Structure 1
Amino acid sequence: MSAAASVQTSSFDAWLTTIPEFASATPARIQSLCSDIARQKAANPTAYAANVAWWRRTVRSMLDYGAQPVGGGREGEHLTLLLEDELLQRFADASVVRRRPMALVSVVNEMRLTNELVPFSEYLTSSGPSSPNTSSPASVSYFSTATLSTNLWWAMEQLGLSSGDDAGASLPYEQRWRSAAGEYVLFAAVKDAAAKLLKHHQSISSLSLSTTLYDRTTFRAAFGSVLFPASPHPPTDRDIAILLKHLQRDLGVLVSDKEVIKFVEPGQALKITQFDRNYLELMLAARNLSKQVDELNASVVDRTAKAKEYVARGRNDMAKSYLRSRASLQDLSLARLRSLETIQGVLLKIETSHGDIQIMKAYETSSSALQDLLSHPSLQAENVEQTMNRLSDALADHKEIEEAISMGGELAVQAGQSEIIDEAELDSELAVLVKEAEEERVQPSPQVGEGLPALDGTALPSIPLTGPEPVTEMRAESIQREKITN
């Protein structure tokens, strides 16, 4: 087994352990999942729908992980499903499955009907949008009649035109397998990867040209880590090609060819200019020179270490040879560094000019918007003067009205007073009341027992807390009548 095949086998087995139904399910449950479910569609639609939904999720999980066991140097693909005998056999060879997933034939046909799976060749060659939810003429041309013809028996069954209760299920499995086998693009995975890429690009995007121009290598280096975070495998060349097709044809956010990938702003032409190619070439040259300088510096350090080693061993001739080699490498590194500085200076000037262009465009837009506002009839000088004069007259009228209301209020208050109160008389009366109150506070009140002789410690009789009932006028008359009666 080759090293690549061994790695892929390991990835497939590792992925299987993440699926609970495979890792811990009973043999009966696994048999139910892997068996041919075509006849189940008519006999038990609920169970059929549940099995199809489970396999949809499982296929997506396998691709997200990059665990699909495909050969030919295509290990780790994330966006294409290759339904072939090798895939089914890998399930059968896995110790946690031990069965060929024959249900995949029905699942793939269902996903083709809903355009969740699109034949790979059609995906790349079509010029129409690839959204499975659109009904535009372009999308109709995208899903060719060849794709629909392979699912004709499924469509006839849905329309009730089949020759039996379940015409699709009545076909031999091998015939249905030949109809379903092939390579497909999982469109939901493409859309999710595109969304992650665009979100990451927005987080790093600026006026800089360096964030808009890439080749395939730098594009993968910039965005590969964010596309499939659950996978131990980086995106493959086929993944990148599928993703670029969607971003350019369906979303219109970039334009690409074999050498250049260019992000475009809304309203910008989907065109790669000669300037784009020249600038990208300069950026790549700067990156390569920077890499060369780092490698040369590492070689200089290595030559120095070797020279010291031979000096310690008494081999001065070898030490001198390494020192001579180090000197040559230092000269070459210095020359590369000067070239790198020159290219970086040119790139900086281009970036500055590009930024100035963007700023001037912003100024032009602002100027145009301001001119549009100032050209409004209400902002003409004559109209402004007339408006301000009318406002001044209105404010003057308002002030006169306020003054008239205030003066009328004062007259009403004065007219409502029947006589004028003498403030001096009020002050004199108040002074008399204050003097009487002070005299009452100064005069002492008589004390209980005052003027009586002391009792020399003789105990006094207790006195009830409540005194006798006061003799009122009515009480006195009552006492007088009692005396007369007696």
Structure 2
Amino acid sequence: MMAAAPGPSTTADSLSSHSIFQSTSKARLQALYSDFARQKQSNPSAFHANVEWWRKTLEGLLDSGLLRGTVGDSESRLVLQADRSLLDCVKLDKIGKPLAIGTVINELRSNNTLLLLNEFMSSKVSVYDSGWLPYRIASFVVGRPLWWALEQVGIVGDEGILTSSSQTKETVWWGDYVSLPLVEKAADAVMSMQAMRMTGPADTLYTFEGFRRSFGPIFGESNHLLNDMDARVLVKYLERERKAMILDDQVVKFFDSSVALEDRVITTVDRGILELKSAILDLQHQIDAVQTKMDDYAKKAADALRQKRKILALGFLRSRKQLEDLLGKRLSSLSTLEGTMVSIETAAGDVQIMKTFESSTTTLRTILAHSSLQRENINQTMDALAEASQDAKEVDDAIRIGGNVALGVEISDEEIERELEALAKDVENSSDTLQTLEQLRPPSVLVETTDATDKVPLLSH
């Protein structure tokens, strides 16, 4: 069942309290709500400033949930429903409806801020590939003079969007639009959340419903379930633009950026792991539900006892006991399944480790097979290195000897030996001289002080 859009009065109250409206003066709001389409030619700066204000406003309102439409099975946070209901949603008291909202939508389409939902979902080309939209190709092919002529006869509109006889200028901008900045922001949040969960192969796999449930909190609500269309938009963006996952038969699998595109497939093993993961999650939910019922029966039994209704209290306790037995069985089954999951993830990890070993072995053998690492080459290289070292030593000796000759210095070993013996004799003579002087030093003279026990030696001069 599709959710109904919020009523005009409720939305008007919410808009008036939104920060972007509170920070904008009434005169400015009146200008923004006027038909400023003609300013594109007469005053381009003011025109683009107005469009930019509306871009931020529409994104802020959609992201905060104030422009919730009926796209999908619940409120959408990524897809803008642009039609007459949008005019009612952004209507302000004493100001009215925005007369240039169609112009704003078309401008945001022209710079890929807003993308038609059906084109976004069906395109095989990335949204970042310029020219992926039909009207952008047409605007490139058709020359500006011819385009101006077509505008004059009403074949194309002022906003640069091709029109048909079945659509009027007032409704040509109607449609469901993907907000690319909000999708990029949501995709970043999904990737960040997924990175924190990665502990094993099972953490890369989700059913489509599991994806909606697991990543609902990216909008700030812990128990939020992603809108069906929002989830499909996110999966399409992450698959096509980010190359981070694939969707195959309601199975979503995340991939590391290092995995080649041709290897990004969902195998039979992946589906088996996902079935086991889903069974574990179902059991956990059952256990939580049984525990909640047990707590409820215990509370009812206590209330019955306080009311002196012993038989009723016994009935509640009996029901609680039955649930306790059921809880024990479910916990046992959960323990078995979780043990199986651990074994599977261990085996998967071992496979990855063996692949790494194989790759490393191949790499090492490739390096060792290099011609420069063959034994003959190694021996030749080491011999050449020894010869080069010997040559370097001979060159160094020749340079040193040549330098001494150039300076007229000729040093012999005998001369050095004689100098060493003379130095030793000098040292010995110096020691004898010091000893003789010490023997010739006169004895010290003791001088008595006022204290008879203290005597100070007085050296004679």
Is 2:173 the partner of 1:180?
A: yes
Q: Is the 8 A contact 1:212 1:262 kept in 2?
A: yes
Pairwise CA distance, 1:232:
11
Question: For 2:358 and 2:305, how far apart are their aligned partners in 1?
Answer: 69
Question: For 1:170 and 1:319, how far apart are their aligned partners in 2?
Answer: 74
Structure 2 counterpart of 1:261: 252
Please, which of 235, 243, 260 is the counterpart of residue 252 of structure 1?
243
Deviations 1:378-400 (A, max 9, x none): 11122112222333344455556
Structure 2 counterpart of 1:70: 69
Please, which of 251, 276, 279 is the counterpart of residue 273 of structure 2?
279
Letter in 2 for 1:182: G
Structure 2 counterpart of 1:475: none
Is 2:197 the partner of 1:210?
A: no
Pairwise CA distance, 1:101:
0.9
Pairwise CA distance, 1:354:
0.5
- Secondary structure at 1:122's aligned position in 2? helix
Structure 1 counterpart of 2:290: 296
Please, which of 183, 186, 192 is the counterpart of residue 185 of structure 2?
192
Q: Is the 8 A contact 2:151 2:158 kept in 1?
A: no
Please, which of 410, 413, 426 is the counterpart of residue 412 of structure 1?
410
- Specify every segment of 5 or more residues in structure 2 that has no aligned partner in the other structure, as ranges: 161-166, 443-461
Question: For 1:327 and 1:114, how far apart are their aligned partners in 2?
Answer: 65
How has the CA–CA distance of structure 1 residues 274 and 156 changed in structure 2, closer, same or farther, with 3 Å as cutoff? same
Is 2:98 the partner of 1:101?
A: yes
Pairwise CA distance, 1:161:
4.1
Q: Is the 8 A contact 1:286 1:340 kept in 2?
A: yes
Q: Is the 8 A contact 1:8 1:75 kept in 2?
A: no
Letter in 1 for 2:266: I
Pairwise CA distance, 1:351:
0.7
Q: Is the 8 A contact 1:8 1:69 kept in 2?
A: no
Q: Is the 8 A contact 2:190 2:215 kept in 1?
A: yes
Deviations 1:78-106 (A, max 9, x none): 221211111112222x34x6321122111
Letter in 1 for 2:285: K
Q: Which moved more, 1:179-188 or 1:231-240?
A: 231-240
Q: Is the 8 A contact 2:76 2:229 kept in 1?
A: yes
How has the CA–CA distance of structure 1 residues 164 and 424 changed in structure 2, closer, same or farther, with 3 Å as cutoff? closer
Pairwise CA distance, 1:223:
2.8
- Secondary structure at 2:76's aligned position in 1? coil
TM-score, normalised to structure 2, is 0.76
Q: Is the 8 A contact 1:244 1:256 kept in 2?
A: yes
What is the percentage of aligned positions where both structures have the same residue? 32
Q: Is the 8 A contact 2:90 2:98 kept in 1?
A: yes
Structure 2 counterpart of 1:42: 41
Pairwise CA distance, 1:404:
7.6
- Secondary structure at 1:214's aligned position in 2? strand
Letter in 2 for 1:347: M
Letter in 1 for 2:337: I
Deviations 1:429-469 (A, max 9, x none): 9899999x99xx99xxxxxxxxxxxxxxxxxxxxxxxxxxx
Structure 1 counterpart of 2:88: 89
How has the CA–CA distance of structure 1 residues 13 and 362 changed in structure 2, closer, same or farther, with 3 Å as cutoff? farther
Structure 2 counterpart of 1:381: 375
Summarize the alignment of residues 39-438 of structure 1 with structure 2, pairs less than 5 Å apart. 39-71=38-70, 76-92=75-91, 94-95=92-93, 98-131=95-128, 134-135=129-130, 140=132, 143-144=133-134, 156=144, 160-161=148-149, 168=157, 175-206=168-199, 208-226=200-218, 228-229=219-220, 235-257=226-248, 259-265=250-256, 266-267=259-260, 269-398=263-392, 412-413=410-411
Pairwise CA distance, 1:237:
1.7
How has the CA–CA distance of structure 1 residues 253 and 175 changed in structure 2, closer, same or farther, with 3 Å as cutoff? same
How has the CA–CA distance of structure 1 residues 155 and 60 changed in structure 2, closer, same or farther, with 3 Å as cutoff? farther
Letter in 2 for 1:243: L
Letter in 1 for 2:247: S
Structure 2 counterpart of 1:470: none
- Secondary structure at 1:177's aligned position in 2? coil
Q: Is the 8 A contact 1:300 1:330 kept in 2?
A: yes
Question: For 2:399 and 2:144, how far apart are their aligned partners in 1?
Answer: 89
Question: For 1:398 and 1:331, how far apart are their aligned partners in 2?
Answer: 89
Question: For 1:298 and 1:312, how far apart are their aligned partners in 2?
Answer: 21
Asked which structure has the greater CA Rg, the reply is 1
Deviations 1:463-485 (A, max 9, x none): xxxxxxxxxxxxxxxxxxxxxxx
Q: Is the 8 A contact 1:66 1:231 kept in 2?
A: no
Q: Is the 8 A contact 1:216 1:261 kept in 2?
A: yes
Question: For 2:59 and 2:238, how far apart are their aligned partners in 1?
Answer: 20
RMSD: 4.3
Structure 2 counterpart of 1:17: 17
- Specify every segment of 5 or more residues in structure 1 that has no aligned partner in the other structure, as ranges: 443-486
Question: For 1:334 and 1:432, how far apart are their aligned partners in 2?
Answer: 103
Structure 2 counterpart of 1:450: none
